[in-house]
Amino acid sequence: MARKTFIAGNWKMNTTIEDAVALAKGVVEAVGSQDAVDVAICPPYVSLAAVKDVVKDSNVKLGAQDVHWEKMGAFTGKVCCGMLKSVGVTYVIIGHSEQRTYFHETDSTVNKKIQAALKAGLLPIVCIGETLDERKSGKMEAVVETQTRGAFEGISREDALKCTIAYEPVWAIGTGETATPEQANEAHVFVRKILADLYDEESAQSMRIQYGGSMKPGNAKELLSQSDVDGGLIGGAALKPELFEGIVNPK
Ligand code: 13P
């Protein structure tokens, strides 16, 4: 089954509301009318409402960078799925390595967030990926397998099909060091095998797996031409419309 390429920009903790609106306008101008590729941008929470107004009549969808699994209540600092729905969010990034590294995200909290997001009608972008030490010591497959199985525990096939996976090797994030197209594809093929084991081959073949980690216009074409690389989750290069456009339409 053909998988439509999906490019998402993760703006991380960058942009004021003013910056975010300007950046979103640039993205809409650059890629908002094409529909060959699915495109989403994920600004910080405080800019979601303003950016929604900018993207609303375009093909650019809105995403959030995280969500809490509880429905509401005394969870100071957290944002729930209902809030994201009410502001017009379609996608939500869950389990980013920065969340895992700095904010105590575990496979179990990732799973709870995915369950809550799906229940609320949000589409999860589930991040997995190994550190440099793990790769060097030959543990890439074990780590990625544990993260994938943990993320999808108890999630039905029908719900899993609504998810995108982002394979982001931690050593390639923000470092300028990209996984080679072969390394990325090898990991994606491996993840798809796990999905086939969890669900079935047809489901595994239809789920999209993005690559993330120093993706930019200069390496996007080769990465995206790999058999199992179905898109990208873009950090640094998502902060400049012309670079983001160069990934959506790679030359
Ligand atoms: P960079 O593209 O800056 O390496 O970030 C990747 C990433 O973490 C996207 O979520």
In 3D, which of 195, 186, 99 has the Cα closest to residue 141? Answer: 186
Site of tokens 């969808």: 61
Average pLDDT value for residue range 68-78: 98
Convert the pLDDT of each residue in 30-58 to its tens digit.
999 999 999 999 999 999 999 999 999 99
Q: Is ligand 1 within 6 A of the CB of residue 219?
A: no
From residue 183, alpha-carbon distances to 61, 62, 159, 166, 180 in Å are 29, 30, 28, 14, 5
pLDDT tens by residue, 141-199: 999 999 999 999 999 999 999 999 999 999 999 898 889 999 999 999 999 999 999 99
> What domain count does the chain have?
1
Q: How confident is the model at residue 3 (pLDDT cuts 50, 70, 90)?
A: very high
- With cut-offs at 50, 70 and 90, classify the pLDDT of residue 6: very high
In this structure, is residue 238 part of a structural domain? yes
Q: What is the DSSP letter of 80?
A: B
Residue 102 burial (C-beta neighbours within 10 Å; 0-12, 13-18, 19+): exposed
Within a domain: 111: yes
Token digits for 82? 């209902």
Residue-number span of the structural domain to which 74 is assigned = 6-248
Report the separation in Å between the CA atom of 11 and the middle of ligand 1, taken as the mean of its atom positions.
9
Distance in Å, CA 74 to ligand 1 centroid? 32
Among residues 98, 130, 134, 168, which one is catalytic? 168
Q: Which of 96, 130, 134, 245 is catalytic?
A: 96
CATH code of the domain containing 69: 3.20.20.70
According to DSSP, the residues that pair with 62 across neighbouring strands are: 41
> Is 44 domain-assigned?
yes
Query: 236 in ligand 1 pocket by Cβ < 6 Å?
Result: yes
**Residue 220 pLDDT > 90:** yes
Q: pLDDT tier at 1 (50, 70, 90 boundaries)?
A: low
Identify the three-state secondary structure at position 40: strand
- For residue 190, being part of any structural domain is answered with yes
- By CB neighbour count within 10 A (0-12 exposed, 13-18 middle, 19+ buried), where does 57 fall? exposed
Cβ of 173 closer than 6 Å to ligand 1, yes or no, is yes
Cα–ligand 1 centroid distance for 235 (angstroms): 3
The closest of 47, 43, 52, 34 to 11, measured between CA atoms, is 43
- Residue 233 alpha carbon, nearest atom of ligand 1: 9
Alpha-carbon distance 39 to 26, whole Å?
13
Does 129 contact ligand 1 (Cβ within 6 A)? no
Burial class (CB within 10 angstroms; exposed 0-12, middle 13-18, buried 19+) of 41: buried
Q: How far apart are CA 85 and CA 143, in angstroms?
A: 32
Per the confidence metrics, is the pTM higher than 0.85? yes
The pLDDT of residue 2 is 87
* Cα R_g (the chain), whole angstroms: 17
Give the mean pLDDT of the chain: 97
Ligand 1 contacts CB of residue 174 (under 6 A) = yes
Atom of ligand 1 nearest to the CA of 172: 4
Gap from CA of 175 to ligand 1 centroid (Å): 9
So what's the pLDDT on residue 177? 86
- 1 lies in some domain: no
